[in-house]
């Protein structure tokens, strides 16, 4: 495993793992990347990109919206995300409905006929 650590030291992306503890544990061990480690990675990447740091919950929202846009039913998504019901996810469903309406307006032959 020593060679792998040496390899990571040479890689550009390895800097994301140096500050969060042992490389073996961070990448392959039973422990997950913690909140503070993830927050540090996001903060560093946002600074490098010159953008505002996203909230961690933004990723959860983006995941939910992406799953709905790709056709997952809302009940399965609620279970997957650990919700008791669908009420929390209904705001995302409303957004996907708006996506559908916008796509219809852009592609509709009747709306774009120029009459």
Task: Spell out the domain ranges in the chain.
Answer: 2-49, 56-107
Mean pLDDT by 10 residues, the chain (115 residues): 55 51 50 82 91 87 87 90 87 78 81 72
pTM: 0.52
Alpha carbon distances (Å) from 79 to 37, 54, 60, 93, 110: 27, 25, 14, 15, 40
Residue 66 to residue 86: CA distance in whole angstroms: 16
pLDDT at 50: 93
pLDDT at 47: 93
pLDDT at 22: 45
pLDDT at 11: 55
pLDDT at 79: 92
pLDDT at 48: 93
Q: Which are the contacts of 92, defined by CB distance < 8 A and separation ≥ 6?
A: 61, 64, 65, 68
């Amino acid at each position: 495993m020593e060679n792998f650590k040496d390899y990571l030291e040479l890689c550009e992306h390895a800097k994301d793992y140096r500050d969060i503890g042992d490389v073996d544990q961070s990448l392959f061990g039973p422990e997950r990347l913690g909140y503070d480690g993830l927050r540090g990675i996001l903060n560093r990447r946002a600074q490098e990109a010159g953008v505002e740091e996203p909230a961690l919950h933004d990723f959860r929202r983006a995941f939910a919206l992406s799953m709905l846009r790709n056709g997952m039913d809302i009940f399965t998504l609620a279970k997957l995300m650990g919700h008791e019901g669908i009420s929390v996810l209904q705001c995302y469903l409303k957004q996907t409905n708006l996506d559908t309406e916008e796509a219809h307006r852009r592609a509709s032959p009747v709306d774009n006929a120029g009459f």
